Amino acid sequence: MSFRLFLSFLGASFPAVPSEVVHVNSATELYNAVELAHHNYDVREIILGPGIYHLSRRILFQRNNISLVGKNGPQQTILIGKGMKKSRYPEVLMDIMASHITIGGITLKNSGNHLIQVRAENNADFFRLSNSILQDSYEQMLKISGDKSAGHYSENGIVEHCVFEYTAGIGPQFYIGGIDAHRSIGWQIRNNIFRNIASPSSHIAEHAIHFWQDSGDTHVIGNTIINSDRGIGFGLGKSEPQHYSGLIEENTIVHTDMSHPFADVGIALESSEGAIIQNNTILLYSGYPNAIEYRFASTQNVLIRNNKVNKRIKKRDGATALLKANRHIN
């Protein structure tokens, strides 16, 4: 199909001359631009004009090297799903099935499942999310999914200078989280803010930042986590090691909202080998007694140093770690 004919087929108002940049100003134009980029490798960047974009279906990235950027930043470029409620069919606003996909300068909100899903099962590497706001999803906001049978990982992703939050001050249910990652290697989570990742009933929420199930070399640096049930987690449960290596450094974790029924630990290692936890500040004013926990016999070769905490650093269930120069503060 010729380029001109393809544009006519889409009903798009783009010029019939290939360009590396496409500007859009409506949801229809956005869907058409992404479809165009899948067929025309000259298109590398889609720029969203200011406005509210109501999404009726997921935006699916299936070709490498595409950027989606809000021209005027996240306060003025807002993409909205069908609602923060249980949906009959899975609802994801951004579905990442390719590598080198970059998203920046937008707000994503109100999804029945995830706001963004990055698919390790499709070998989606080098994803980057920056300067964006993620709000009010019914499940985890950013999901990195994995399938061991596929044999792939999602490698070298970056999430930076973003806000993840529930705007009502608490989540809609317990099966929520900020970033929830499986089969993810070498990701960097840095300088983000997480607010109110908290369960209203039934069970504790998942972590604000959680890398587990065959993940490793994760760097979680300089984030601020406010009023979330659990802050940062590597691994889960007591099976074989689920997370290898990694650094949790210079994060600030604070919990002051006494109305949250399931407030829990600031940083947790479970079946996590070789992690370093250093230079973090954790101030928990809930009733939970521990700021940092390391659990299970497969948690070993861990270094916990130079952290400032107002609750205990607790060994559990046969884990081992070297503790050095941590300081208790009020």
Separation between Cα atoms, residue 140 and residue 210, nearest integer Å:
10
What pTM value is reported for the model? 0.93
- Confidence check: pLDDT of 9 > 90: no
Question: Which are the contacts of 50, defined by CB distance < 8 A and separation ≥ 6?
Answer: 70, 71, 72, 76, 77
- Could you read off the pLDDT of 255-285 as tens digits, one per residue? 999 999 999 999 999 999 999 999 999 999 9
∠ CA(57), CA(58), CA(60), 5° rounding? 135
The whole-number pLDDT of residue 19 equals: 62
Separation between Cα atoms, residue 108 and residue 132, nearest integer Å:
8
Going from the C-alpha of 73 to that of each of 9, 48, 78, 85, the distances in angstroms are 31, 9, 9, 27
For residues 184-210, one letter each, b for 16 or more C-beta atoms within 10 angstroms of the residue's C-beta and e for the rest, the string is: bbbbbbbbbbbbbbbbbeeebbbbbbb
- Could you read off the pLDDT of 96-143 as tens digits, one per residue? 999 999 999 999 999 999 999 999 999 999 999 999 999 999 999 999
The whole-number pLDDT of residue 88 equals: 86
Separation between Cα atoms, residue 259 and residue 305, nearest integer Å:
31
β-strand 281-284 against 267-270: which pairing, if any? unpaired
Per-domain boundaries in the chain: 46-328
Q: Which range has the worst mean pLDDT, 83-92, 125-134, 259-268, 298-307?
A: 83-92
Separation between Cα atoms, residue 14 and residue 160, nearest integer Å:
32
The whole-number pLDDT of residue 16 equals: 44
Look up the CATH superfamily of 46-328.
Answer: Single-stranded right-handed beta-helix, Pectin lyase-like (2.160.20.10)
Kindly report the average pLDDT of the chain as a whole number. 93
Q: Which range has the worst mean pLDDT, 15-24, 104-113, 233-242, 298-307?
A: 15-24
- Could you read off the pLDDT of 161-218 as tens digits, one per residue? 999 999 999 999 999 999 999 999 999 999 999 999 999 999 999 999 999 999 999 9
Closest by Cα among 180, 133, 124, 108 to 157:
124
- Confidence check: pLDDT of 51 > 70: yes
Q: Compute CA 222 distance to the chain's CA centroid, rounded to the nearest angstrom.
A: 15
Give the per-residue SS3 of the chain.
CCHHHHHHHHCCCCCCCCCCEEEECCHHHHHHHHHHHHHCCCCCEEEECCEEEECCCCEEECCCCEEEEECCCCCCEEEECCCCCCCCCCCEEEEECCCCEEEECCEEEEECCEEEEEEHHHCCCCCEEECCEEEEECCCCEEEECCHHHCCCEECCEEECCEEECCCCCCCCCCCCCEEEECEECCEEECCEEECCCCCCCCCCCCCEEEECCEECCEEECCEEECCCCCEEECCCCCCCCEECCEEECCEEEECCCCCCCCCCCEEEECEECCEEECCEEEECCCCCEEEEEECCCCCCEEEECCEECCEEEEECCCCEEEECCEECC
